[in-house]
Structure 1
């Protein structure tokens, strides 16, 4: 059986995605918190694992992997879990993974960071929130009449977008206008063995 170590930060949505995926796949892993404020992601040791100095990094049997979308796809392919059932579905799953990274994640992570960490100017926050609302509208439309984003079972597409959308409140984006998204969030949250995103990773000792 492969061994895994996840390097991450508990407030990072991409890191949460990988922690939850490992749990859903039944893969045990060691977790190492990376103190971003202290620059631990810029040390030579960390940069040897990820040249971009970003979290998450997942080390599998000594080989380091970066970028949460790529890691999700790797784990789905390796374990045969949470992937599309057909080649066409697999393609759609990957499209959603990249859509999340391109539209949904920036639209929620951007204003969230401005509000929680950067004391962003109101116009900057509003600009980011508008992007998030647009992406949530697209997600809401895609979920019309559907239980999951692709096929009839949950996939990494659902997991990635679920984590991102779960932080909408931090970005001060209300979900009242997106009933399909709200129902889908509750559906994914009820999956057996799934922790809440906020509980996915250990918090560092004070």
Structure 2
């Protein structure tokens, strides 16, 4: 469970440090490790959570997370969300554009990771701010003002069942090539390799 402490601290930081107010409807765009941990923590602190995903076979990975699963089509036809967390950032502006489409007027979008330097948002800023949408950046975690890492350890310790589905034991370090091949085949979230305690995403 300790391998989840760092990504859980990132998930907690995104919700804790964004000044979100009372829990309401929360959408998390992205069903990777940070996205599912954000959803799990959001549910733990009282949010009504929906995980928006584009991939297949998510049911197994999200088994312990107290959240609805929605495809992109399902999410875009639902009632707008109070808060949307973009946990799928990367080389395309599509996750942030989706988050902006899903949030209600006056709501908040939290961008939980960093985009690649060349990514440009196609949505005009005027369209965002006319709707009074608040954009909040949240990268990594902090040890001051609440100790995200300590909160992560406490959350993981109190809800082992919610997070067990995010882990898979794939083998040991005596045959690293075949272990990596199995990980690639299964496309799991966090991997624990026996023998060295090495972790990877």
Q: Normalising by structure 1, what TM-score?
A: 0.30
Q: Normalising by structure 2, what TM-score?
A: 0.30
Q: By percentage of residues, which structure has more strand?
A: 2
